[in-house]
Amino acid sequence: MDAIEELKKTRLIVLARGVPKDVLLKAVGAIEEAGVTVFESTFDHRRADCVAENAEKIAALVAAYGERMAIGAGTVLSVEEVRAAHAAGATFIVSPDSDPDVIAETKRLGMASIPGAMTPTEIKRAYALGADIVKLFPADDLGYHYIQNLKGPLPHIPLMATGGVNPQTIPEFLSRGILAVGTGITVFRPDLVAAEDYEGIKALAKAHMDAIQAAWR
């Protein structure tokens, strides 16, 4: 599936880090039932085997959901990780920063690029390097007024907000010109993950989707 086209429709990426593969597969099935179509499995750089570990998760997610969901990789910090994600079947790459080599390799391999940036200079540069969407991070520290001011001189650059995203803040982010939002912990809440409470995870995902739909009525 085309991650960018799905984001234009659903406006939400859900992400997870550090969730065991078997639990992750069931949890992603739960959020799919809630209407989520874009999922990001992040590299956990605390682990010595983070590249192989996340590649294995991505491959399993693609096998299970790849025909119905866009599956990508997050917290991608190196070209090696881009290549591993691509080999596993990922269709998009998300990073907290705007590494030119990461963006270039992502585009060379035919994947969507969503690098992170904070300032107008960083956002403009990331877009010029080939970003399909620029991830504004950390969006909650920057604030809604900052986003509104950014959209004045940079209305042509699509932005995704991560940091502080939840059903209460989603309407404000979208009203300020944000194309899409990304979140992990407000859907994959640690206590629900630990309890393998998939119905609880599904309910949280639906609350996010409902907030997006209500904001665009």
Q: Is pTM beyond 0.85 here? A: yes
Query: What is the residue-averaged pLDDT of the chain?
Result: 97
pLDDT tens-place string over residues 70-118: 999 999 999 999 999 999 999 999 999 999 999 999 999 999 999 999 9
Split at pLDDT 50, 70, 90, the class of 169 is very high
Split at pLDDT 50, 70, 90, the class of 1 is confident
Which pLDDT belongs to residue 217?
61
Domain architecture of the chain: domains with CATH: 3-215 (3.20.20.70)
- Give the angle 99-101-106 at the CA atoms, nearest 5°: 100
pLDDT at 50 over 90: yes
Distance CA 18, CA 20 (A): 6
What number is the average pLDDT over the span 169-175? 96
